[in-house]
Amino acid sequence: MTILKKILLMMFFIVSFSLTGFSATYTIDKDHSSITFKIRHLLTKVQGTFNDFSGEIQYDPDHPETWEVNAVIQTASIDTANVNRDNHLRSPDFFDVEKNPLITFDSVNVDVTDANHAKVNGTLILHGVKKEITLDVDINGVGTDPWGSVKAGFSASAAINRKDFGIVWNEALDSGQFLLGDDVEIRLEIEGLLKK
């Protein structure tokens, strides 16, 4: 091998390491994570969850420029502890799961507030509509479980207006108000498993 080839090969490895050396990939551990939401119904708020979701988080506490989040939710997995309501939510009045089986989120950039907080800006595709949203994230840290697996924990929240995503069904009340609110509170509790 010529000296030039050796130098080029060395440069290739240096560049490759600089791009990936700080990357730590965590897969979402569904058994220890949750995606929940709340919306006003008449005078109180109803809570629901999605039971089927997956995703990956690129996270290194010392290199926030490498952070990245990608997640997918199966809309048909919606669960509000009421079968009739869940079926209505799956219908064209709401999520229309036949046409829109997935909700996706892909981060665009991350603004680090301090060692324990960040804002993750990204693209949410819901009900076939693409919008930019921001997740307010609490960074809960990295640790090793009793079985030697490395885990990272995050809590996040966001608020969206369902009408922005074309979900507009409602019922007018005699009082002049409407049965459902427009604002939806989203809460994420995510535990990621470090990929080996």
Tell me the CATH number at 80: 2.40.128.110
Mean pLDDT of 134-149: 96
Q: Does 64 have pLDDT greater than 60?
A: yes
In this prediction, residue 166 carries a pLDDT of 98
Give the C-alpha separation, 129 to 144, whole Å: 39
Tokens 């809590």, located at residue: 155
Domain that holds residue 28: 22-194
Q: At CA 98, angle to CA 85 and CA 184, rounded to 5?
A: 50
- Which residues pair with residue 34 across a beta bridge? 189
Q: Is the pLDDT of residue 15 over 60?
A: no
Looking at residues 78-93, what average pLDDT do you find?
A: 98
pLDDT tens for residues 25-43?
999 999 999 999 999 999 9
In a domain, 171, yes or no: yes
Which amino acid does the sequence have at 134?
T
Domains: count for the chain: 1
Interior CA angle at 31 toward 188 and 91, to 5°? 65
Q: Is the dihedral of CA 13, 64, 150, 55 positive or negative?
A: negative
Residue 163 inside a domain? The answer is yes
CA 35 to chain centre: 8
Chain-centre distance for alpha carbon 22: 22
> For residue 147, is it within any domain?
yes
- Model pLDDT, residue 3: 54
**Rg of the Cα trace of the chain?**
21
- As to burial, measured by CB atoms within 10 angstroms (0-12 exposed, 13-18 middle, 19+ buried), residue 83 is exposed
Specify if 143 maps to a domain: yes
pLDDT reading at 21 higher than 60? no
Q: In terms of C-beta density within 10 A (0-12 exposed, 13-18 middle, 19 or more buried), how is residue 15 classed? A: exposed
Quick check: is 158 in a domain? yes
Q: Which of the two residues, 2 and 149, has the higher pLDDT score? A: 149
Q: Is residue 187 part of a domain?
A: yes
User: Above 50 in pLDDT, residue 10?
Assistant: no
**What is the rounded CA–CA span in Å between residue 168 and residue 136?**
26
Q: What's the mean pLDDT in 148-167?
A: 98
Residues linked to residue 89 through DSSP beta bridges, in sequence order: none
Position 79 confidence tier, pLDDT thresholds 50, 70, 90: very high
Q: Is residue 16 part of a domain?
A: no
In this prediction, residue 1 carries a pLDDT of 54
12 within a domain of the structure (yes/no): no
Pull the structure tokens for residue 5. Answer: 């080839």
62, 54 contact by CB (below 8 A): no
Amino acid at 10: M
